[in-house]
Structure 1
Amino acid sequence: MAKERLDKLLAHEGFGSRKDIRKLLRSCEVLVNGKQIYDPGFAVDAEKDNISVDGEEVNLHKNLYLMMNKPQHYVCSTKEGDHETVFDLLDDSLRTPYLQEKLHLVGRLDMDTEGLLLFTTDGELTHRLISPKSHISKTYLCGLEHAETAEHQAEITKQFEAGIEVGPEDNEQGFTAQPAQITWLNDTTAQLTIYEGKYHQVKRMFAAVGNKIVYLKRISMGQLKLDKELELGKYKELTDKDLELIV
């Protein structure tokens, strides 16, 4: 990783403007690897160097990865008029200038959809996961408006596995969905695994077979499953092992 100016890194972490950082370096004990630094332009490697301000270590995140259990009625946006956004659910500690600029969502969920939502500052990971070439699986728990007979369940399964024709919606054209797998839990509930992320895709797929989604929850991406201990609206930082499940 290329080195960056000390004042830039500290500004990103919420210590104020670069002018504020110059004052900080004069008035506080700012150490890099145990050595006091007065030069705001001092070159720092955020991956390797240890920085502290008056004895408190500064935790420099090269990249941050969060899993949220998204509740309904929150939009996947930084701003959305009268609606609260998923970013409103984050702690103040995640509102530093750097994170406000870099932290973003890996894909989105509709306002009325719950479940697994990823935030990161890692643009390369996001590109890999949302690229149409990646074919990262996404599994949803689907609640249906009306019950399906065993016979029609079998027909739906066959159509989804073959790649069903999906009609247009709003300004989006119709398309042929990639083959998808469905597991029926009962006559009104199923788990559906898809490998793309078209607009309202799951809802449109069930509309194409004459039913309607009344409850939708994403429960996994790749091999990464939503943590069952994570309450609605809560989030946690992902471990390296977690990341290996989606890359």
Structure 2
Amino acid sequence: MKRERLDKVLANMGLGTRKEVKALVKQKLIEVDGVVATDPGMHVIPEEQTILVEGEPLNYKRWIYVMLNKPPGVISATEDPRHETVVDLLPIEWADKVHPVGRLDIDTEGLLLLTNDGQLSHSLLSPKKKVDKEYYAKIRGQVTQHHVDEFAKGVTLDDGYHTMPAKLEILSSGEESEIKVTIMEGKFHQVKRMFAAFGLEVTYLKRLRMGTLLLDESLELGDFRELTEEELAGLRGE
């Protein structure tokens, strides 16, 4: 286990700035393994040692993995001067640390993973890994077998980029069609642009799955929870 400065551990847990944490130590409000801490720079192993802050145990977690059912109108970013962001929906002790893994458009709902594990983020987003993402969508216009066949070959977007093959499943077809589509990339507005290439408009989009991680349908829009050990193992390919 890695040793870290006490003030850094406490600051990373959202207990204040380094300066504010030093003040807590000066007031003798921090204990490590039953002994009052006197040096904010002392090195601790937070996973193994008992740290009390004003008599309350510190529930330390080095890595955070959060599933969010993203609502529309919220952007997939850590900060924005005009819009509410996905991290604004989280408790402050998580919001200051995590980042969204990939992006969902502002009007797109559904599964979004947030974490401070950069290595996992990279593995999930790397094109080489070909991590698939499944969406449910409503389409203005009739989706047919022709579109299924064309998606399977990849679609040329408005900027000339030809996407990787995608799996398109028709749930209902008519003036408004319902579909599921699975892609292995995350180009800007990709699903919308793939349908736009055929003169079709996506009117509703929701992400259901990323790799092995399924959206917990019991989560209301804007709700979140930590991943289970099984979900995390699946993402890591364990």
Q: TM-score, normalised by structure 2?
A: 0.91
The equivalent of 1:91 in structure 2 is: 91
1:8-157 aligned within 5 A? 8-95=8-95, 100=96, 102-148=97-143, 153-157=144-148
Pick closer, same or farther for the CA change 1:23–1:84 going to 2, 3 Å: closer
8 Å CA contact retained: 1:71, 1:233: yes
Task: Give the whole-Å Cα distance in 2 for the aligned partners of 1:17 and 1:77.
Answer: 23
- Structure 1 residue ranges without an equivalent (≥5): 169-173
Q: Does 1:161 align with 2:156?
A: no
Corresponding letter in the other structure for 1:178 = M
Task: Give the whole-Å Cα distance in 2 for the aligned partners of 1:224 and 1:14.
Answer: 28
Deviation per CA, 1:33-52: give whole Å up to 9, x if none: 33332222211123322211
8 Å CA contact retained: 2:78, 2:100: no
The equivalent of 1:177 in structure 2 is: 163
CA RMSD of aligned residues (A): 1.7
The equivalent of 1:228 in structure 2 is: 217
Task: Give the whole-Å Cα distance in 2 for the aligned partners of 1:42 and 1:198.
Answer: 46
8 Å CA contact retained: 1:140, 1:192: yes
Q: TM-score, normalised by structure 1?
A: 0.88
8 Å CA contact retained: 2:68, 2:223: yes
Per the TM alignment, residue 93 of structure 1 is displaced from its structure 2 partner at its CA by 4.2
Aligned length: 233
Q: Tell me which of 152, 173, 187 is aligned to 1:198.
A: 187
8 Å CA contact retained: 1:28, 1:53: no
Task: Give the whole-Å Cα distance in 1 for the aligned partners of 2:165 and 2:235.
Answer: 20
The equivalent of 1:211 in structure 2 is: 200
Corresponding letter in the other structure for 2:219 = L
Query: Identity percentage over the alignment?
Result: 43
- Structure 2 residue ranges without an equivalent (≥5): none
Per the TM alignment, residue 29 of structure 1 is displaced from its structure 2 partner at its CA by 4.4
Task: Give the whole-Å Cα distance in 2 for the aligned partners of 1:195 and 1:42.
Answer: 46
Per the TM alignment, residue 229 of structure 1 is displaced from its structure 2 partner at its CA by 0.3
